[in-house]
Structure 1
Amino acid sequence: MGKAAVLSLAMVLPAAAQEVTIAALGDSLTQGYGLLQEDGFTAQLQDWLVARGHDVAILNAGVSGDTTAGGLARVGWTLTPDVDAMIVALGGNDLLRAIPPEASRANLEGILQAAEAAGVPVLLVGLTAPGNYGPEYQAAFDAMYPELAGAYGALHVESFLAPLSEAAEADRQGALTAYMQADGIHPNAAGVALIVEALGPEVERLIARAAGS
């Protein structure tokens, strides 16, 4: 085949889609605490997306016990040149330590600013605060995720654990047995699958943003 024929063929064939690399910046929920590697959040999410036809790699940037401050400290080297998009799922350990919401908010904003500077779209996954810290704390914590997502044009999911909370509303003891590890804090493999099923469509939107469509 001559050069002209090769050139003509290249012009009519669709360009091959490029693999989209997504870094998942988070804590033990992202890291897959207590689970086999293949049962963790990032592995199950990648499998779910690949099964739906996406050419995607999910990088596990979760660190067990990490706070929003830890995420901010790590975001610079998480956003390597090959990262096309980022999931940010932090705040649970801030809650456990009763860190003031204004501090958590500033850390999350720093993460979003770093992503914006790198030209990387973000899916910001929140959590809902319990009422035991008082209504002002709860309101400030819950509001920071949608407000920051709006300010920085990020995609937003209200709560990482929403599918498990919904299951618990129907049958708390049954949900604990079916979806949670023995510590009652971290999801088991079935619980992660439920979370992935709920988050997956929003990650597909993130992929579309990363691909520029």
Structure 2
Amino acid sequence: MFLEFLPARIQRKINANNLPFKVINIGLSGEPSAVELERVDLYIDQHFDLFVLELGANDILKDIPSEITQRNLQALIDKVKANYPSITMLFLGIKITFCLAEARTIPFNFVFKK
């Protein structure tokens, strides 16, 4: 259960409380933000009540500059907002502090504060 992905955990809680919501996980483990930005187009026509964005760690691990990650995440947010102007969004930034040089991780800590 420790390694269970967040969408599955959320769906389990929804089911346990008999709520009428379905979680759709459009992310793929290991994919960078640029790929997720393209993938959202495949799902944008589905009805969303809540949009949870949990991205960024793979970009750090793949040495993608934080500016590119920030641009991709903002574009993804803009796409969803354009289709669902009043949607509730939850942003989850991944902070990596282990086994990586500070010079690599510090810029990403600021991406999610913006």
| 1:91 equivalent among 53, 56, 76 | 56
Look up the equivalent residue of 1:80 and give its one-letter code: D
How far is 1:105 from its partner? 0.3
Greater RCO (CA < 8 Å, at least 6 residues apart):
2
Q: 2:94 aligns with which of 99, 123, 127?
A: 127
Deviation at 1:122, TM superposition (A): 1.6
Counterpart amino acid of residue 127 in structure 1? I
> Runs in 1 of length 4+ with deviation above 4 angstroms?
none
Q: Which residue of 1 aligns with 2:34?
A: 69
TM-score, normalising length from structure 1? Answer: 0.46
1:76-104 superposed Cα distances (whole Å, 9 cap, x missing partner): 22222322321111111111111110010
**Counterpart check, 1:145 vs 2:112:** yes
Contact 2:55 2:92 in 1 (8 A): yes
Q: Deviations over 1:136-160 (max 9, x none)?
A: x53321121131xxxxxxxxxxxxx
Q: 1:40 to 1:140 in 2, by over 3 A?
A: closer
Larger radius of gyration: 1
For 1:100, give the aligned amino acid: P
CA RMSD of aligned residues (A): 2.0
With 51-60 and 99-108 compared, the bigger mean Cα shift is at: 51-60
- Report the residue type matching 1:78 in the other structure: Y
SS at match of 2:24: strand
Aligned-residue sequence identity (percent) comes to: 25
1:60 CA drift (Å)? 1.9
Q: Unpaired segments of 5 or more residues in structure 1?
A: 1-34, 148-213
Q: How many Å apart are 1:53 and its aligned residue?
A: 4.2
**1:30-85 deviation per Cα after TM superposition (whole angstroms, max 9, x unaligned):** xxxxx7xxx54323311212323422100121212211111111112222232232
The count of aligned residue pairs is: 108
**Residue 41 in 1 paired to residue 6 in 2?**
yes
Match of 1:52 in 2: 17
- Distance 1:78-1:133 versus aligned 2 partners, 3 A rule: farther
Show the 5 A alignment for 1:108-123: 108-119=73-84, 120-123=87-90
